[in-house]
Amino acid sequence: MEDLPLSQLIDSLKNNYEEVIDIEINKNHFVKASVFSMEDELSGEFYINPFNGDKIGDIPKKKPLFEWTTNFHRSLFLKTPGRIFIGIASFFLFLISITGTILLIKRQKGFKKLFAKIVKDDFYQYYHVIFGRLSLIPIIIISLTGVYLSLYRFELIPEKTLESRIFESTQEIDLENTKIDLFNQLTLQEISKLEFPFSSDEEDYYILDLHSKSVKVHQYSGAIIEEIEYPFSETLQKLSFNLHTGNGSILWSIILGIASLNILFFLYSGAVISFKRLRTSIKNKYSPEEASVIILIGSENGGTKRKGILLQQALLKLKKKVYLDELNNYREYRSMKSLIILTSTYGEGDPPSNADRFLELLKEINHSQHIDYSIVGFGSHAYDNFCQFAKDIDKALTKYQNYSPTLPISFIHNQDYAEFNIWATNWAKTKDLNLQLPESLGGKKEKLSPFKILEKNSVQDEYNDTFTLHVEAKFNNFQSGDLLGLQPSQDSAIRWYSIAKTAPRKILLSIKRHELGLCSNYLNDLSIGEQFEGFIKKNKDFHFPSTASEVILLSNGTGIAPFIGMLQHNTKKVKTTLFWGGRTEDSFSIYQAWVQDAMDTDKLSRFELAYSRENGELKYVQDLIKPELEYLVETLNNGGVIMICGAINMQNDVLKLIADACKNANKHNIEYYQANHQILTDCY
């Protein structure tokens, strides 16, 4: 139809109808004609076939719902005041879109990384960003065109005077001539509307509306009598209307529809994000001069701040003088004895916005008293610079002699609350505190389930006090590597144990008994047939990989437990090597049957042992892997996975060895493999 000459359509209409009033091509490329005919059904306005002029359908009336929605959208049924309000709202939407784009570019560390991978650490923040970067351009167009249409509607756009050019025709007039050259040259896609002459009087003209101008054409000579150029403001108004409504394009209408739905999601997700941030406002009972425990946080989106507040509240319940603040507010704390730093890392290793001045402040502000400190870094292995800012702080503090670490620096993946709870418990032990954090970040109590003891084995001698419990659950939706949470009494903290799934609904726990350990002694006192209550928390970042070419398992002590379950379910017989360190040969006795069965069924390809208290020889897992580092790095390069479970000191030493080996291999650094989920850890 786009290439059909206008003259052909005119001829068809004149042949089919007694009189033609006008024709109009709408944005959907339908041709509407207004005609008179001796036949009633062929008079009026209707759609026609442009090739032969035949009627093809009546013009449908607008649906009441569509009219209602259109009026509501334009004016909220408030007429002029409503239109003003809608125009202002469109302007604010435009500002939000622009500032959102700036924040998105800042978050992604530059325009080139706009579509780089985003870590899913919070549902609302994640999809706010994902949908935002996909919808920003359509939303900017919607809002900007809405603003322009409002300004145009209230005649606030400066209008240029219409430029009219009148031509004097010198052509001879042939009243029998019906062929006009201009109409032969124009196609239907170039016109908007054509009004036919009212009579055969030569003073009546064709009025032809093109996209950029209006033309009067002599009905006999075909000469252009007058030409009126549309002002740019009117052309822009037509473009804005089409872009704003999707008029004339099904694809663009679909895009606008999706973008509009995303706006509704942004309203909700933005409100949730804002509420979470407001809810995590800092309140202090003690002044910075009074407090002996200082908690400083670096948080970009509020997740780390929330954990800092929970820690502060738990310490206040223990009558501790604690003060919570942001890292950028670091100052002289006269009574400070303990410093706790909880910080996330923003982007590619940068500090959060409320912590970007801390390292400079640390150089400027001196404390004369001795201070013990502990650092927890929150990050994601999806980024190469995992918890880099926490590492930078740790490196800076080691330069000061009066600062000493209470615990080695801890790293928590994806804001895992269970890991944070474990760290808090370990920190509290160094202070002889019975610290109790909520069971979950939302403060909801977990639903407890009974676990029945089926079998119990133990090793107890000069060096060992360890036991295993083989228990039965009432449900089956868990995997080896998930965490079992127990709370022996209402006033005790939750203890977490990494589980082995040995069979459907069967769990193996490996527990080291501590002389004053509330949970370990509680479990040790239970007999076969008795039950205890607990709950299981998914630990999806520490499951046996389903697609790895090879798996290397590194553990010490009770950390072997989840690996026993993983080996039981290695039905694909993926090449797997287990390095384990214990104190004596007796330490291994309670695990030997499980490991031997895995070897016999080819679910475990190789097993290496190290004893730290056997025959006076001090040998650890670290010593086992030192001669194997080239093999470990080669496994990583070939797509293999290394899993580490056990004591945090062992993990730190092992990761340092692997990091140095990766550096020497000149291939990828350790952060690359962590980001690629090829190095998985669950240590305590």
Distance (Å) of CA 351 to CA 2, 102, 627, 675: 58, 18, 37, 19
**Tokens 């797509």 — which residue?**
639
Topology at the third CATH level for domain 449-683: Rossmann fold (3.40.50)
Q: What is the pLDDT of residues 318-352, one digit of tens each?
A: 999 999 999 999 999 999 999 999 999 876 678 88
Same fold, 288-430 and 449-683: yes
What pLDDT score was predicted for residue 671? 84
Q: Give the pLDDT score at 437.
A: 87
Q: Please answer whether residues 508 and 565 qualify as being in contact, where contact means their C-beta atoms are separated by less than 8 angstroms.
A: yes
Q: What pLDDT band is residue 527 in, cutting at 50, 70 and 90?
A: very high
The distance from CA 670 to its chain's CA centroid, rounded to whole angstroms, is: 24
Q: Please report where in the chains the tokens 């291999």 appear, as a residue.
A: 665
Please write the tens of the pLDDT for every residue from 56-94.
999 888 888 888 888 888 888 888 898 999 999 999 999
Q: Which two tokens stand for residue 147?
A: 């603003």
Please report the pLDDT score of residue 508 as a whole number: 97
* pLDDT value for 155: 81
> pLDDT at residue 564 above 60?
yes
pLDDT at 633 over 90: yes
Cβ-contact 570, 576 below 8 angstroms: yes
Q: What does the pLDDT read at residue 113? A: 74
Q: What are phi and psi of 136, to 5 degrees?
A: -60, -45
Q: How far are the Cα atoms of 26, 332, 434, 629 from residue 337, in angstroms, in the given order? A: 77, 12, 19, 41
pLDDT at 4 over 80: yes
The pLDDT assigned to 234 comes to: 83
Give the pLDDT band (50/70/90) at residue 163.
low
In angstroms, the CA 172 to CA 362 distance is 94
Work out the end-to-end distance of the chain between its first and last CA atoms, rounded to an integer number of angstroms.
73
Mean pLDDT computed over 466-491:
90
- Write down the domain spans for the chain: 65-158+238-274, 288-430, 449-683
Roughly what angle, to the nearest 10 degrees, separates helices 417-430 and 303-317?
40
pLDDT given for residue 180 in this prediction:
83
- pLDDT, residue 174, reads 56
Q: Band of the pLDDT at 171, cuts 50, 70, 90?
A: low
Residue 582, φ and ψ in degrees, nearest 5: -130, -175
Q: If you average pLDDT over residues 91-110, what whole number do you get?
A: 85
Q: Are 508 and 569 in contact (CB under 8 A)?
A: no
- Residue 176, pLDDT > 60, answer no
Lowest mean pLDDT among 56-65, 392-401, 489-498, 658-667: 489-498
| Model pLDDT, residue 104 | 82
Which residues, listed in sequence order, are joined to residue 514 by a DSSP beta bridge?
Answer: none
Best CA proximity match to 10, nearest among 26, 43, 42, 33:
33
Q: How confident is the model at residue 221 (pLDDT cuts 50, 70, 90)?
A: confident
Q: Class assignment of domain 288-430? A: alpha beta
